[in-house]
Amino acid sequence: MANMTRLWYLIGLLLIVSGLVHLGVLVLDGGPWDGPVSWRKPFTFGVSFGLSVLSLTWVSQFIRLRRRNVLLGVFAVASVVEVALISVQAWRGVPSHFNMSTDVDSLIARTLAAGGFTLIAIAIFMTISAFRPSHPDTGEPPSTDPGGSLIVQLAGSVGGRLAGSPSMRLAVQAGLGTFLAAMAFGGIMIARGVVEAMTGSQQLAYTVAGSLKPAHAILMHGVLLLPALAWLLSRTHPSEQTRLRVVRLAIWTYITVSAIVSALALFDITIVSPSTASVLCAGAISGLAIGALALGTYLPHIRRRRSVTPR
């Protein structure tokens, strides 16, 4: 199982690298930022899918999950296919989604839609699993050895249950709930776009689907942010009661902000373009999550060094 976990982490990292490479291509080659044909798409999809693979691989260890490696494997493969096909279409200079102009483009568009619904199905299964009662006689929580490396601390295998403190359990459940909401918005985007494309309104398909990008993006990475915050608190605050209060406050704050962004998207109220808004939302949430993981890793080391430094 440990080897498979490393494989999922590696796939997630490679997807992020792929996205960053295409960001470099965008900077060097130029071209439009918005629109269905842009280097922005393989950049944002690569980074977002990579973070999602990494997040679900880590969070799944806190869940009483059957066939964990099968589910993560399907999610990782579907993510790779999505990013690969979007990248191929970007290099061909044609739209990836809702493009029915040729047989090849139609096949790619349908494969992307099928992959999206596969990801939604896995998100539903994992969310349901997160709310199953845990069995206290099985599994151990992830290693929090302050002397271990980040990858060891985050990738410690947990067998068979929703492990950890009440604050971590709540964070995982809420994170997966928001991830499922992001997948729901993604499903709505796909369905609306496919309907418009099939009726011959391809440009309208991009418009109606793209308007929901900010709602989809801001909810996408809560599955990393909320558990990362709970993990940071577990390493910095000894009181579980305090940790639980902070996690609850963070959840409601996140839900409130996400609801506002989603409402603006649903009513087509924009300050910047939906593509820019989605990148800003996803970047802010994932950036906070990565910051929490970094603080949780290095603060205990700093405190330990201070405690042993002679005065």
Between 43-52, 76-85, 111-120, 173-182, the lowest mean confidence (pLDDT) is in: 111-120
Residue 191 counted as domain residue: yes
Q: Which domain holds residue 243?
A: 2-132+146-301
pTM: 0.85
In a domain, 173, yes or no: yes
DSSP assigned state of 36: S
Could you tell me if residue 309 is inside a domain? no
- DSSP assignment of 202-260, as one string? HHHHHHHHHTTHHHHHHHHTHHHHHHHHHHHHHHH---HHHHHHHHHHHHHHHHHHHHH
What mean pLDDT, rounded, does the chain reach? 83
pLDDT value of residue 188: 86
* Amino acid 275: pLDDT: 87
% of the chain exceeding 70 in pLDDT: 82
CA distance 143 to 157: 8
Residue with tokens 């990008």: 213
**In the chain, which ranges are continuous DSSP H helix?**
2-29, 40-59, 68-92, 103-130, 150-155, 166-198, 202-210, 213-220, 222-236, 240-266, 274-308
Write out pLDDT tens, residues 238-292: 788 999 999 999 999 999 999 999 999 888 887 888 889 999 999 999 999 999 9
> Which residue's structure tokens are 């820019």?
276
Is 12 inside a domain boundary?
yes
pLDDT of residue 152 exceeding 50: no
Q: Is residue 238 part of a domain?
A: yes
Structure tokens at 141: 């929580």
Distance CA(1)–CA(224), nearest Å, equals 21
From 221, 207, 222, select the one nearest 270 (Cα to Cα): 207
pLDDT per residue over 5-14, tens digit each? 899 999 999 9
**Residue pLDDT, tens place only, 56-106:** 999 998 888 778 899 999 999 999 999 999 999 999 999 888 888 889 998
pLDDT band at 118 (very low <50, low <70, confident <90, very high): very high
pLDDT band at 307 (very low <50, low <70, confident <90, very high): low
Residue 41 lies in a domain: yes
Evaluate whether residue 258 is within a structural domain: yes
As a whole number of angstroms, the distance between CA 195 and CA 230 comes to 41
Q: Which of 270, 244, 253, 254 is nearest to 34 (CA)?
A: 270
Confidence of residue 200 (pLDDT cuts 50, 70, 90): low
Give a yes or no: residue 160 inside a domain. Answer: yes
Residue 196 half-sphere exposure toward CB, CA atoms < 13 A:
19
Give yes or no for residue 140 having a pLDDT over 60.
no
Number of domains making up the chain: 1
Neighbours of 234 (CB within 10 A): 20
